[in-house]
Chains A and B, each alone.
Chain A
Amino acid sequence: MLKGRVVVTGYGAVSPYGLGVQTYWDGLIAGHSVVLTDSKQLSTLKVRSHLCARVQDFPSKDIPRQHRRTMSRMSQYAYWAAREALEVAQLPEDLLHNGRTGVVIGSTTGSVDGLEEFFRNYITTESLDTVKSTLFFKVMNHSAACNLAQALGTTGPLLAPSAACATGCQALGMAAMLVASGQMDVAICGGTDEYHPLTTATFDIMNASSTIYNDNPTKSPRPFDSARDGVVCSEGSGILVLESLEHATNRGASIIAELVGYGTNLDSGHIAHPSRECIGKCIRLALQCADIEPDAVDYINAHATGTMQGDAAEGLALEDVFGSGTPVSSLKGYFGHAMAASGSLEAIACLKMLHDGLIIPTRNLDAPDPSCGNIQHVQQLLRKPIATAIKNNFALGGVNAVLVFRSSV
């Protein structure tokens, strides 16, 4: 169990739908896909997949230059999302600076835009003369976390967990542990990432990117579907404000939900092939942490990215733990896989589902693949009271992370 009770008091989102949690939620409710074909950039790289989902028209200039100069897009997304989360939380400004508010935000890497700019110049000129000092602060592995902390003026602990696609839930889970153990009162936490064509290329090299829907982008990705063919990469940021229950209650904060469980483990059987057994163990760890049995879970937000092996391993693990009676859906079919932001952005959607008693179905799931187990797929918008939900997040490298949220405190 967590050593203390941890609640969510704020959330903020930047997604390919645009700015804000409501814009994101409205897009999901409407069933809109924001996946698009970007053949120009991706064909230059000779990448077979031409699909992606991008944050459009982001108002970078709204961020003061003093902070923006060291921020790549991923830091800017995190900053915008964090400002929204703090607004929702109504956190008094002075609490940012008292040493008890920390930042736990991760990304898959430092800015790929920045790395490309550096190496393009360096390799072309064999000189460092054109490198600006501010570039370094964009490509550090903790760039997003420290840029945000600097911009907000927080003085509590700063951590930047990086676990590829599981970064978002790992950041939330680690932040919850730190709050629960009294290391901080408030955590501004989550994941953020910026899209770069090389991200798609990485999955393409591993034969894990979606390639057969280039002319029909909204038909991909297809989590759990028989015709799925791989990942579509996207970007954004999902940031939560977590607080100890005592802290939130004492300041009269509105509580959105309680984070009651977190489980994480490592699958050392293979660096790229997830196993149902290890995923199942991770889910059970999270349920044990929450001190609940599987039948107490009302909804499962799957990681399911649309890959052949990943979806099958997760679906079978879900069947092993929950049987076929618990509704399951994945959100990747709407806006692709936002990498380090996926776990936290999708966690925010879970919180909205808990609040509204509404389950967002899996988009593009027309023919559930039997190899993904006998589980209760949600294929149409489902109204159902949800008291407890889990959020799965898995990564290459064998990292698994699962969160458990409860609607009432």
Chain B
Amino acid sequence: MTDQEIIERVNAGLEEEFEIPREKLVPDAKIYEELGLDSLDAVDMVVVLEQQFKIKIREDDGIQKIRTLADLYAFILQKVATRPEQ
């Protein structure tokens, strides 16, 4: 999977799970303030991403630092790149 394909899959997951219009899914978008997700959504976003990319991120401290979609993309790209071989 290319980086762009991974970002596309993150966006598709957010669009489906949280019904966020695709045009709002831009790297600068603030996940909580602008995309309207809250603490419950954050938990569910982790569940969706874990299933989507077969990664474990629930207890990763890096999640707490995610503020924008760009942060999220970078976090997921790094996790996918370093995940154990399936």
Contacts and interface: CB of A to CB of B under 8 A. Distances in A.
| Chain A contact patch, size range | 10 to 19
Interface in B32-80: 36, 40-41, 43-44, 47, 50-51, 58
A131 B40 contact: no
Nearest to A136: B40
A129 B44 CA distance: 10
B68 to A, nearest CB: 21
B44 A132 contact: yes
A131 B19 CA distance: 19
B86 to A, nearest CB: 16
Contacts, number: 21
A249 B54 CA distance: 61
A59 to B, nearest CB: 15
Given A129-B50, A129-B58, A130-B47, A65 B19 contact: yes
Contacts of A133: 40, 43-44
A408 B50 CA distance: 60
A134 B44 contact: yes
Interface in A113-137: 129-134
B38 to A, nearest CB: 8
A97 interface: no
A132 B19 contact: no
Contacts of B18: 65
Contacts of B19: 65
Contacts of B58: 129
Contact of B43 (A65, A66, A70, A132): A132
Interface in A58-83: 65-66, 69-70
A69 B40 contact: yes
A134 B43 CA distance: 9
B40 A134 contact: yes
Given A65-B18, A65-B19, A130 B51 contact: yes
Contacts of A131: 47
A66 B40 CA distance: 10
A129 B40 contact: no
B59 to A, nearest CB: 11
Contacts of A66: 36
A169 B40 CA distance: 34
A65 B44 CA distance: 14
B30 to A, nearest CB: 17
B57 to A, nearest CB: 11
User: Which of B18, B40, B50, B58 has the largest number of chain A CB atoms within 10 A?
Assistant: B40
Nearest to A132: B44
Interface string B6-49: 00000000000011000000000000000010001101100100
A134 B44 CA distance: 8
Contacts of A65: 18-19
Contacts of B50: 129
19 contacts: A65-B18, A65-B19, A66-B36, A69-B40, A69-B41, A69-B44, A70-B40, A129-B47, A129-B50, A130-B47, A130-B51, A131-B47, A132-B44, A132-B47, A133-B40, A133-B43, A133-B44, A134-B40, A134-B44
Interface of B: 18-19, 36, 40-41, 43-44, 47, 50-51, 58
Given A65-B18, A130-B51, A133-B44, 7 more contacts: A65-B19, A69-B41, A129-B47, A130-B47, A131-B47, A132-B44, A133-B43
Q: State the 10 A-B residue pairs at the shortest beta-carbon distance, nearest first.
A: A133-B43, A132-B44, A133-B40, A65-B19, A132-B47, A133-B44, A134-B40, A134-B44, A130-B47, A130-B51
